[in-house]
Structure 1
Amino acid sequence: MHITGEADGPPVKVGVAVTDIMTGLYTHGAIMAALIARGVSGKGQHIDASLIQTQASVLANIGSNYLIGGKEAQRWGTRHPSIAPYQVFATKDGNICIGAGNDKQFATFARILGHPELPMDPRFRTNVDRVSNRVALVRLINQELSQLTTERILELMEGSGMPYGPVNNIKQTFEHPQLVARGVVKEVEHPFVGRIKMVGPAVEYSGSDVGVRLPPPMLGQHTEEVLRGVLGYGDAELEKAVVGGGTVLYDYSV
């Protein structure tokens, strides 16, 4: 949260449970590596996945900048710390993210804005100049883009070779033609609420379908199955675990 948010605002929480998701992804990779190692050495391994260690590891270059040079990070909002312009801009009816990663792209963007003279302005000739004069440049860009709709800007940017894209809400995201074409949204039958829609896996395989086969389990739905089948619990041990409050069983007949 210290590095997320606008420079003049408070720390901001990331929009999704990044630490939980990333720890799961790291653990998935660790399991695959351990299985491969077992195939070579014949020995298995205990895997220790840590939420806090994951948080530190995903700091990546920001963490390295501090550890190597003692450089403290700051909040940049949607801006890029070393490239300008490269951020989200407000349009007449929404928001759009546009980046000019080099001088050629900036010249293209300047023409689209209707200001082909900008690359000759001493303040904006190079990326170093543009970063130094970011405030003035962003103010000018905001003046132009705020008068146009997002759709119109997308039309102007089409085929420009620049990175850009609208800031979609969740509805627009799942209705995006590319996500629809890839079948990201899956439907599955739930015993209580009927058919429900879910976000499918992010990876597909050429030889098998990894879609969504089962609905989300109810609380305690698989507890007995795991305790009996995996841990070998008998009736007395299972009853003790339930009575002691250490586990929950779910009865679908209720």
Structure 2
Amino acid sequence: MTGPLGHVRVLELSRVLAGPWAAQTLADLGADVIKVERPGAGDDTRTWGPPWAGEESAYFLSTNRGKRSVTIDFERPEGQDLVRRLASQADVVIENFKVGGLKKYGLDFDSLHALNPRLVYCSVTGFGQDGPYAARAGYDFMIQGMGGLMSITGQPDGEPGGGPVKVGVAVTDVFTGLYAAIGIMGALAHRDRTGVGQWVNLALLDVQVAVLANQGMNYLVSGNAPKRLGNAHPNIVPYQAFPTRDGHLILAVGNDGQFSRFCTAAGRPELAKDGRFATNPQRVAHRKELVAILEEVIRTRDTADWLAALEPLGVPCGPINDLAAVFADPHVQARGLRQELQHATAGTVPTVASPIRYSATPIEHTLAPPPLGAHTDEVLGAQLGLCVADIEALRSKGVI
């Protein structure tokens, strides 16, 4: 394996999104990721289609690049022994079972840490290892609601389409996967200094509250719970989508100079000198008046006209693209964000490249998301030293 984590071996005992996203991130960085799946079934998301690429769901393909798939039934003692042997050779274990769910199999942190003291063991749960909700199952949608994100996402009550809305991607799961990868790398750095691994715990609810960012701090500082503002920003004006003559324009003015240049381009230079709008705090205080004026001005021209006028002036703006437009965008194409991978059963499958760019160890996507159990014989033979007869005996008993 190449990449900055080319020396790291990861044993993944997770499924769906948050845990697999963490493991895929580590795989992108060069780690050897072995994904343990249920014989005959595999990761739940293998059946979450359409759409499909061959027999693989697009959902599964989105989060399992760069891994090897091994099927082991660790509800059986022989399967538990295989996983323990793999864990004894691993640097990292990632799991997302319910709290205490792996203890009965001898695959919990204490059991595997005793076997391999250098092991970094990462658990992903809905609500964490303690607290009154610890035993509950957690799913992205409900955590977006419980964690406050939906209270600030959507149109205001009383307006057309008003009411709470979830984000169109399972962002709580994705953020949790990214935080898990960061936590794992921190634990590996600590292990490099001390020789001892540790338990890294991630909770979806913790992550959702953490990524409220400025909105969370707005509440903590003011004591006032932020409300839904549609596409508007709570602290910056104008920073929202506006209807144009043929579509929409996102205007993202970040400072007073940008606002002044926008007003000139819009043929309304006097707005930048108006006492109500000259500075951002004044524009926030007079949001309704300014937005009403800008809506009248912006809807008089096409989106492309505005982009052509504002971009040379350094006024941040952009269109609202659907995904067809995203992947057709010349800049997206130039950055190589869509790549094609050779797949064992589907021919080729597309993938969205990692956004991390290294100067010395560039990321190379070479291993497509694996068919179920595609690497069982390879891993059990090369890493555990099982012969063909041993592997076939386990397969005949349904262990693998």
User: Structure 1 residues 14 and 224 mapped into 2: Cα distance closer, same or farther (>3 Å)?
Assistant: farther
Aligned mates of 1:147, 1:228 — CA distance in 2: 69
User: Structure 1 residues 232 and 58 mapped into 2: Cα distance closer, same or farther (>3 Å)?
Assistant: farther
Aligned mates of 1:109, 1:156 — CA distance in 2: 9
User: Structure 1 residues 62 and 109 mapped into 2: Cα distance closer, same or farther (>3 Å)?
Assistant: same
Aligned position for 2:324: 171
Residue deviations 1:183-236 (CA, integer Å, cap 9, x gap): 111111223332222101111223334222122223444567667877999767
Higher relative contact order (CA 8 A, sep 6+): 2
One-letter amino acid matched to 2:204:
L
User: Structure 1 residues 238 and 45 mapped into 2: Cα distance closer, same or farther (>3 Å)?
Assistant: farther
Aligned position for 2:188: 35
3-state DSSP of counterpart to 2:307: helix
Aligned position for 2:238: 85
Aligned position for 1:3: 152
Matches for 1:87-102 after TM superposition, within 5 Å: 87-102=240-255
Q: CA RMSD in A?
A: 2.6
Aligned position for 1:106: 259
One-letter amino acid matched to 1:16:
V
One-letter amino acid matched to 2:294:
I
Aligned position for 1:47: 200
Give 5+ residue unaligned stretches, structure 1.
Answer: 243-248, 250-254
TM-score normalised over the length of structure 1: 0.83
Identity of aligned residues (%): 43
TM-score normalised over the length of structure 2: 0.55
- Quote how far apart the aligned CAs of 1:237 are: 6.5
User: Which residue among 304, 328, 353 is the counterpart of 1:151?
Assistant: 304
One-letter amino acid matched to 1:4:
T
Matches for 1:59-208 after TM superposition, within 5 Å: 59-208=212-361
One-letter amino acid matched to 1:195:
T
Aligned 8 A contact 1:103 1:127 in 2: yes
Give 5+ residue unaligned stretches, structure 2.
Answer: 1-149
- Quote how far apart the aligned CAs of 1:128 are: 2.9
Aligned mates of 2:236, 2:214 — CA distance in 1: 16
Residue deviations 1:167-193 (CA, integer Å, cap 9, x gap): 222122122222222211111122333
Q: Point out the structure with the larger strand share.
A: 2
Q: Quick check: 29-38 or 209-218, which moved more?
A: 209-218
User: Structure 1 residues 220 and 67 mapped into 2: Cα distance closer, same or farther (>3 Å)?
Assistant: farther
Aligned residues: 243
Aligned 8 A contact 1:224 1:238 in 2: no
